[in-house]
Amino acid sequence: MGHVRGSLRNLPSGSWEIRLFLGTDDTGKKRYRSKSVKGSKREAERTMRQLIAEIEAGRVEGSRSEQTLTVDQLPERWQTANVNDWSPTTARDHQRTAEGWISPHIGTVRINRLTVERLEGFYQTLLSEGGKAGRPLSAQSVKKAHSILRAALSAAVRWRLIPNNPALIAHTPRVEPHQHKVPDLDTVAAIIGKADPRMATIIRLAIATGARRGELGALKWSDIDVEQRLITFQRSVVDGGPASKVKPTKTRTTGVVSVGEATMASIEEWRAHQTDAASKVGLGSLGADGWVFPSRDWNHPLTLNQITNDWRTLADAHGLDGVRFHDLRHATATHLIANGTDVRTVAGRLRHASPTMTLDVYAARTTEADQAAGELIDTLLDKP
């Protein structure tokens, strides 16, 4: 809520009527708060200032419909307000969490009656019996439910539906740090050697650049500078295939990454393969605006699930149980740092949103260091 507007009116009885504008409700109807004050105009003005201070501090009751808003209804309202800013995957994930974990336990509770104690009891319930068929949920899953509640309740505070957010101070279960399973580069090189041309190129790019799956899927030929051996990541894709949605990268920034000669050669080999395939179906030459890894109809990016499934098949065949495609990104950072690349350069290659994610205490990233990093990955992958 912005600055609260108020007015004074002298009533025939001699009292003063204070009228404050509280904004609009869900239907667009304007909301007001009125109060009659006996005494002088100065006293009425003082009372009005006090009321405005209470409203702006959040100490004002909403309408009756807002007071009865339940925990079930709040995430839906919060999601409606944010749907344009979320990817389809994020929206579905939030909805599943709300419906599967939150609603069955506290869905009918009014948000203005949701206390810190009740929230902490809810988290303990999830830990003991919050999963399917009454199975326990992990601390990580409970933390996820908490995060959604915290964000939705913060929105309710902004909307002046409740005066404060109990989730901000509620204790949550301790989550142990996730231990990434980092594949060794000999195994990655072996997988590349066994993969089909498309997947071999995808895996090579993933380990050489640290790119996320969605960033690789969203690459266009115009993003690749063969002469300078540079790759520009400026978009990402969610739910590939005909239902794909192209969006900004996770950090909403554009990153330019150097790669070595061997990696660029593999990209050129893939383009030649694609050019031949396009010619056979009568599509002609590949345009700069075309997808590097297209779907079968050539009009959309390859589905991200396809990348995951192809990786899973290859990884399982090489004994990499539990190693995700995303772990190739962690492998990039781990092996570069282990072989002497400064952390600042690694952070730049991974396009981290915050340098602190990769220990921002090192020298500034330079073009030479970045090029050396690209060559190093090639050397490690192609060593005899």
Q: What is the average pLDDT value for the chain, to the nearest integer? A: 83
Separation between Cα atoms, residue 71 and residue 35, nearest integer Å: 31
3-class secondary structure, 154 = helix
In terms of pTM, does the model score above 0.75?
no
Q: What is the pLDDT of residue 279?
A: 85
What tens digit of pLDDT does each residue of 99-133 get? 889 988 998 899 988 999 999 999 999 999 888 77
Whole-number Å distance between alpha carbons of 297 and 303 = 12
* pLDDT at residue 228 greater than cutoff 60: yes
The DSSP-derived string for 8-37 is EEE-TTS-EEEEEEEEE-TTS-EEEEEEEE
- At residue 194, the pLDDT reads 94
pLDDT range class, residue 144, cuts 50, 70, 90: very high
pLDDT at 23 over 50: yes
The predicted pLDDT at position 63 comes to 45
Looking at residue 62, its pLDDT comes to: 45
Q: Residue 64 pLDDT > 50, yes or no?
A: no
Alpha-carbon span 31 to 186, nearest angstrom: 67
Side-chain half-sphere CA neighbours of 256 within 13 A: 12
What confidence score (pLDDT) does residue 176 get? 75
Q: How many residues does the chain have?
A: 384
In this structure, the dihedral spanned by the alpha carbons of residues 221, 229, 324 and 239, taken in order and rounded to 10 degrees, is -20
What pLDDT is attached to residue 269? 95
**pLDDT above 60 for 13:** yes
Angle of CA points 163, 165, 166, to nearest 5°: 120
Q: Which residue has the higher pLDDT, 48 or 263?
A: 263
Provide the pLDDT confidence category of residue 250 given band limits of 50, 70 and 90. low
Comparison of pLDDT for 298 and 265, the residue scoring more: 265
Pair 196, 262: CB distance under 8 Å: no
pLDDT(358) > 70? no
Between 164-178, 306-320, 331-345, the lowest mean confidence (pLDDT) is in 331-345
Distance between CA 177 and CA 254 in Å, rounded?
29
